Amino acid sequence: MKEKKVVRALAALAQESRLAVFRLLMEGEEVGMSAGAISKTLQIPPTTMSFHLAQLKTAGLVDSRKEGRSIIYSANRKRVKKIANYLTAKKPVEAEYTL
């Protein structure tokens, strides 16, 4: 995994609301949640939620899929595992950690 991708992911989590969204998605089922449900659960306005979800998606920390009229967001658990492996590796620049 390249350092820039790790830095981008960690930077996305360095904001209270985004960290709360990410933790909610990690704690929940792998099926995910709609933006509206996340917004309601965390009491974050929908427009603000859209911004934060876009930031997390750009960082590769969440995935999204269309389900009817809703967009369902879920944590990208594979990416999280790769980031954790990168951060705990003795030689984090080894090719085996590439995305």
The pLDDT profile of the chain, 99 residues, written as one tens digit per residue, is: 688 999 999 999 999 999 999 999 999 878 899 999 999 999 999 999 999 999 999 999 999 999 999 999 999 999 999 999 998 887 655 555 555
Overall number of domains in the chain: 1
Helix (H), strand (E) at residue 44 = none
- What's the CATH number where 77 sits? 1.10.10.10
Q: What domain range includes position 23?
A: 3-83
Q: Which sign does the torsion angle of CA 89, 92, 97, 99 carry?
A: positive
State how far the Cα of 52 lies from the Cα of 8, in Å rounded to an integer: 14
Within-domain flag for 68: yes
Within-domain flag for 78: yes
State how far the Cα of 69 lies from the Cα of 13, in Å rounded to an integer: 28
Give pTM, 2 decimals: 0.84
| Contacts (Cβ under 8 Å, ≥6 apart) of 82 | 1, 97, 99
Within-domain flag for 37: yes
Within-domain flag for 28: yes
